[in-house]
Amino acid sequence: MTRHYNFCAGPAALPVAVLERARNELVDYQGRGLSVMEMSHRSDEFVAIAEQAEADFRALLNVPEHYRVLFLQGGASMQFAMLPMNLLGQGGSGNFIQTGIWGKKALSEARRLGYACHVAGSSEPNGHTAVPGLDTLDISRDAAYLHYTSNETIGGLEFDYVPHVSRPDGKQVPLVCDMSSNILSKPMRVEDFGVIYAGAQKNIGPAGLTLVMVRDDLLGRAQSDIPSLFDYQQLAEAGSMVNTPPTYAWYLAGLVFQWLRDDIGGLEAMDAINQRKADKLYGAIDRSDFYSNPIAKANRSRMNVPFVLADAALDKVFLEEADQAGLLNLKGHRSVGGMRASLYNAVPEEAVDALVAFMADFEQRRG
């Protein structure tokens, strides 16, 4: 068996320990005579797995009791529709900070559905290389929430602050945050937010699962004529089991949470490791004239590091040689080109060391 280093932006690397445990339990889960995939979602065995996963997730992030944690399907993109349908059912407008492609999609979807939307701030003037400052945000009088993307996976732009804002009348505005690509990468204060959501396929587990945290007071605001499976209140009341949930993905997410707690030592330890990984790669980029990253230092993503070569004609050979060296999926997003190294939790520090060494060698030979 060979394992390579996988820098994919998502679906992304999973911890080897998690994959090995899943493998060992795949055909017969703990002597029960069946696979987790074959369990009724309402069986005692699966309910125990599901509840343990939620408890471990809550413990990792210190999720307060007045937040529901939902295990859903559809990806973060489904939330782009579910959010306004749940939060604007009684009027008001969605306010949006635009820092890249994902934030733009969240805004477009709310507009497509006919909801009132307002752009509260944007990094478009600087080419999405620095997030807008808190004091530049323009919140509308009818703001029902402020949506932002804490880490733009494609652009590699990460917020270095939480944009606490109020409406002109002084009323605090609930924050809604797409944390798909940096959730669980560091400790955070859940109570700063009204809704947090994240597709699983970066730091949580496999694709096909989406985690949503909703503060209790934001439940029950949906219009009555939205799809039942979109209604946070119904989903919360049914423990995310209005219908059959993605059981195996839920189980795998639970294994990832256990790995974070037991093998890594929690989110503070994970934070330190992620910081070292990012420092090593950005350090290598900054020390070189051959590699470059355009993002303002304070907003450089620790999870997704896009970089370009001084000579774009070398992109193809860079990627081919990296692949042969066991450094997989370094191609930049089709919309931006160049390279991108995603350094999610499951990407070990040795992977970054190997990448940095490869980059130095490549520059020496081809630069």
Applying CB under 8 A, which residues contact a copy of itself? 1-4, 6, 8-14, 16, 19-20, 22-23, 26-28, 31-35, 37-43, 73-78, 80-81, 109, 112-114, 199, 201, 206-209, 224-229, 242-249, 252, 326, 328-329, 334
Question: Residue 182 CB, nearest distance to a copy of itself (Å)?
Answer: 17
Q: Which helix (H) or strand (E) holds 117?
A: strand 117-122
- Nearer to a copy of itself by Cβ, of 35 and 129: the residue is 35
In the block, which residue shows the tokens 């804002």?
165
311 is catalytic: no
Choosing from 56, 102, 271, 331, which is the catalytic residue?
102
Three-state DSSP state, 304: strand
Question: Residue 304 CB, nearest distance to a copy of itself (Å)?
Answer: 13
Whole-number Å distance between alpha carbons of 150 and 167: 21
- Nearer to a copy of itself by Cβ, of 77 and 288: the residue is 77
Please answer whether residues 41 and 241 qualify as being in contact, where contact means their C-beta atoms are separated by less than 8 angstroms: yes
Question: Residue 250 CB, nearest distance to a copy of itself (Å)?
Answer: 9
102 is catalytic: yes
Task: Specify the pairing of strand 93-98 against strand 5-6.
Answer: unpaired
Choosing from 104, 202, 277, 331, which is the catalytic residue?
202
Closest alpha carbon to 103 in 128, 75, 74, 134: 128
Three-state DSSP state, 241: coil
| Residues constituting the chain | 367
Task: Specify the pairing of strand 291-292 against strand 304-309.
Answer: antiparallel
Under 8 Å CB-to-CB from 230, ≥6 apart: which residues?
A: 81, 82, 85, 86, 222
Question: Residue 160 CB, nearest distance to a copy of itself (Å)?
Answer: 27
- Nearer to a copy of itself by Cβ, of 78 and 188: the residue is 78
225 is catalytic: no
Closest alpha carbon to 11 in 204, 147, 160: 204
- Nearer to a copy of itself by Cβ, of 98 and 329: the residue is 329
Question: Residue 102 CB, nearest distance to a copy of itself (Å)?
Answer: 10
- Nearer to a copy of itself by Cβ, of 23 and 365: the residue is 23
Task: Give the residue numbers marked as catalytic.
Answer: 102, 178, 202
